[in-house]
Amino acid sequence: MLNKYLLLVLLLLLTSCTATNNDKPAPAPSTSENSSSDFHHPVTTSEVPNSPIAEPNEPANLAALDDVWLRIRQQMSVNVADRPEIAMERKFYSRQQKFLNDVATRADPFLYYIVTRLEQRGMPIELALIPIVESAFNPQIKGAGVSGMWQMAPQTAKNFGLKINYWYDGRNDAIASTEAVLDLLQYLHDNLENDWINAVAAYNSGEARIQNAIIRNKAKGKPTDFYSLNIPVKYTRTVPKWLALVDIVRNPERHQVQLKPIANKPQFAIAKIKGPVDLAQAAQASGLSLAQLKRFNTGFKRHATSPDGPHQLAIPVDNFSKFDPSGLKVQKLVAGQSYKIKKGDTLGSIAAKFGVSINQLKKQNNLKSNTLTVGNSIQIPPEAETARAKSASTYKVRKGDNIWTISKKLKIDAEQLRVANKLASGAELKPGQILKVPSASELAKKSSKKSKAANTSGLYTVQSGDSLDKIARKHKVKISDLIKWNDLKKSYMLKPGMKLKVSGSGSKS
């Protein structure tokens, strides 16, 4: 019977995720070595409140506690209603002692950090329990388009400042994702009647559903608290689960549950790194195994950090004093241009297109085989730009050539090739004719101008069911920018028909 309940827990975790979005991969790696001068030591930790070097100013009564669960319990303020759906979830969790033990083990490195950040921001301490519902505190878990301890969707994550690329996924970085989610929850609270339960419901089901329910209730003169909104449970499953856990943590003895102790002290400190570094070497320099280092740095997807810094590396407190960057060889990965793999591409065709060898491509991207995945991006060696400028700046027309076949051969847009050579549509080419081939930078510049021109009005008409989050995701901008461009108040309700700026230009009416 227990196994069936555990299976149900996992299934419910995967269904309690936020909305999904597609995501684009970024360039792949290259490798070379240099000195370790890109490390800062001693480490600057003013931005990291849980660092033992920063010495956060904690209230004495909280700092004196041994267990983070006790710290949470002393500050609880969210009211848990006496409702059957909460009672059902509470009964369920109270029977899952092994599950709760595993949760505590996974939460151990990060719960103190989350709790202290909530305290510093003046947010309800109970929000620290949301990752139990979303992921069982697993920062590496993936759902249907969502990922990480907080189960964030790609576009929502980007809207709140997280990076997602070939090297790194901020959703899986427990530290960075926590900051993004707390920003998101604060935004939802401020825009949904200053109600934290509404905010958690919107985090699960989307802002628009809760916002529309609030508008309906206001029109009918009804209250706008979460329970008065009468939203079907299937859309807000996180809420009763979260509140059930709040009740259990508030009084574990009453519910016959034991909460495995988690030390009430910082678990890691942050080292700031300018450039790329091999994680195995960083682990060795800290006196850790690679697995131990990765437990605290779950956002990194590759064996090294990306060419573009700076980066932060979380190192367990007990090992931080041992961390010696002087022996590390920092990889100086030069970020050459990237190329998105298309259907029909091979390493050979890409190498020929950019005037480099297959071996250079494989070395630049640390590839062990010739297999490519459509949609992924790979990095072109920096020397390829020079080779292309020399070999592909012009093209000599051969017998049987036309604009379309040449554009396919050179892997560029046929219309861009025609315009670059001022050719009439359908113009015939003659063998021996020399065509100008626009460079990658020229094509990118023209594409950018075209994109800007297409968005000169920068206005969007609000539709029924729209929310700021939905509009931000649709136009790939940040919610904070929408608020700034449109001079909106935090509690502003959108109305169908109104016009919003969705870029830095245009005007609101």
Give me the active site residues, please. 134
- Cα–Cα distance, 313 to 273 (Å, whole number): 7
Q: What is the DSSP string of 16-35?
A: SPPP-------PPP------
DSSP secondary-structure letter at 342?
A: -
DSSP secondary-structure letter at 381?
A: P
246 near 72, Cβ under 8 Å? no
How many C-beta atoms surround the C-beta of residue 6 within 10 A? 14
Q: Give start and end residues of each alpha helix (H) in 297-439.
A: 317-320, 347-354, 358-365, 383-391, 403-410, 414-420
Long-range contacts of 361-369 (CB under 8 A, 24+ apart): 363/30, 363/31, 364/28, 364/29, 364/30, 364/336, 365/28, 365/29, 365/30, 366/28, 366/29, 366/30, 366/31, 366/303, 367/28
CA atoms within 13 A on the CB side of 324: 5
- Cα–Cα distance, 156 to 158 (Å, whole number): 5
CA atoms within 13 A on the CB side of 295: 15
